[in-house]
Amino acid sequence: MTSTVISKRAKPLGNYPHAKSAGDLVFLSGTTARQPDGSVAGVTRKPDGSLHRDAAVQTRVIIQNIASTLEALGGTLLNCVDMTVFLTDMADFDDYNLVYAEFFDAATGPARTTLEVSGLPHPDMAVEIKAVALLPKILP
């Protein structure tokens, strides 16, 4: 088994890698819209102190982060076989689903499960995606 941390990505919030390979399978840790500087994409702080978390922006950044992780390992989004998506508010489902459809279709995309959760590791996060990819004989 091989663990991988991608240097250009935001450092994991805990003691875990961005990806772990086991044979031909690669398991990506939950991926968020965190930027290398620690900020979260798709967040607007209003003058009154309220916060707007844009699930569409976060979904796009997350899928791009997943793609860059897979690219670093020799793969693409086409290698994804399963995704688990965590939303902090199911009211964001349509926005997230529209962006998801820009990257995946039912014929070639991965299996998918979407769940609503009460929170994610950072209060600015509205979406997190965990992915599994098949990368035959690419990883050591």
**The domain spanning residue 63 has which CATH number?**
3.30.1330.40
Residue 139 lies in a domain: no
pTM of this structure: 0.92
CB-CB contact of 73 with 4 (8 Å): yes
Residue 67 lies in a domain: yes
Residue 140 lies in a domain: no
Neighbours of 35 (CB within 10 A): 13
User: Domain containing 125: what range?
Assistant: 2-8+15-134
Above pLDDT 70, what percent of the chain? Answer: 97
Tokens matching residue 40: 């979260």
CB neighbour burial string for 83-105, b if at least 16 within 10 angstroms, e if fewer: bbbbbbeeebeebbbebbeeebe
pLDDT digits (tens, 9 = 90+) for 47-80: 998 999 999 999 999 999 999 999 999 999 999 9
Structural domain total, the chain? 1
